[in-house]
Amino acid sequence: MQKTDNWQRIWNDDGSSTRCTPAKTILYAFSLLYRLIISLRNRLYDHKIFSEKKLACPVISVGNITVGGTGKTPCVIWLTRMLQEEGFRPAVLSRGYGGKSAAPVNIVSDGGNILLSAAEAGDEPYLIARSLPGIPVITGPQRILTGNKAIENFGADILICDDAFQHRRIFRDINLALLDSEKPLGNGYLLPRGELREPVTALRRADAFLLTRADEVKKISAIPGKLAQAENIPVFLSTHKIVDVICGNGGKHLSLAELKDKKVCAFAGIARPDSFQSAIKQAGAKLVSFDIFSDHHRYSPEELEKIRNNFLRNNADLLITTEKDGMRLTEFPEFLAGIYLLRVKLAIIPNENALKNFILGKLGNRLKTKG
């Protein structure tokens, strides 16, 4: 297993350590400047000096206050499917982080066909498009442009904005903030000293909190509850449920039971690799090696060769990565055909009805008001 890099070690330090390093001091100084800029921007929006643009249909934002790793993509997929089943015509809007296409509007999926590769679209939009047949998926830095495209070209009557909590130019009817159950605020510091994208007070903009991976921690952090009580914000719980393991070329499926006692080599380039590692172990597999890369990592042929050689050297039964990593490996079909992807979905606990009814109730009220 690769060691966590120095940057991540700093982010894991919540300040309880008495050891002060030059790197921490410099990053903290920059975080103070960052706080000033972000706070000023938010104040301009709060006082209507910067205005939010309303689109012709309701908008739901799925976002977080920390950098990566709270499970936004599974949430977007769950939410979109739920709304589709309720008779809506949703479209998904994403910034397209990591995608090579620089166009202002990129049609990843027109609802019938996937039109861009994972490299062009970004791994997360591409995964969303593959997971949601029949749903338009559009990327671009300005949600106003992509939102209007979804409405005018695809007849969308509701828009799901992926990772848009900080994108305040577009008015949203529901602001859903995802928080990690164990460390909802990371180490408590703003970027670049920590993982916070905004000061904690920004969470007041949320209409609801969704705590993710609630089943993976012995004790859920009390911070979201205190914030929710103070601001009268409802709190919902969720978990990432393993669906199955599928061959990278889309062929053979393995049930979780079939992982038991198998020797597994694994690798991942995601924000929270520990959850992926835990899932493999909980399935009863014997994890013999685990290589960690940075989030959204683009694998080189040399790296993949090292991973494959390690797998052969360990005489393991399976080589496994995440489904999101698999999207970044589509340009290496031969390698992809020899590995397995662990697929997960969001599950609202104890049942989904509470969150579902909350969202539909909010939408109903807004549509009535509009009517």
Q: Where are the domains of the chain?
A: 59-239+347-370, 249-338
Q: How confident is residue 40, by pLDDT bands cut at 50, 70 and 90?
A: very high
Give the model's pLDDT for residue 24.
Answer: 85
- And the tokens for 69? 């790793």
Dihedral Cα 349, 353, 358, 360, nearest 10 deg? 140
Give the model's pLDDT for residue 225.
Answer: 85
Q: What whole-number distance in Å separates Cα of residue 81 and Cα of residue 278? A: 27
pTM beyond 0.85: the answer is yes
- And the tokens for 35? 């706080």
Look up the CATH architecture of domain 59-239+347-370. Answer: 3-Layer(aba) Sandwich (3.40)
Instruction: Report yes or no: 280 and 266 within 8 Å, Cβ to Cβ.
Output: yes
Give the model's pLDDT for residue 238.
Answer: 97
Give the model's pLDDT for residue 15.
Answer: 62
The pLDDT tens digits of the residues spanning 46-88 come to 999 999 999 999 999 999 999 978 999 999 999 999 999 999 9
Q: Decide: helix, strand or coil at residue 107.
A: strand
Residue 97 has pLDDT above 60, yes or no: yes
Q: What whole-number distance in Å separates Cα of residue 56 and Cα of residue 74? A: 26
Instruction: Report yes or no: 325 and 267 within 8 Å, Cβ to Cβ.
Output: yes
Nearest to 150 by CA among 141, 164, 160: 160
Give the model's pLDDT for residue 23.
Answer: 83
Q: How confident is residue 223, by pLDDT bands cut at 50, 70 and 90?
A: confident
The pLDDT tens digits of the residues spanning 110-145 come to 999 999 999 999 999 999 999 999 999 999 999 999
List, in sequence order, every beta strand (DSSP E) within the chain: 59-64, 90-94, 106-110, 136-139, 158-162, 174-180, 208-212, 235-247, 253-254, 263-268, 286-292, 318-322, 340-349
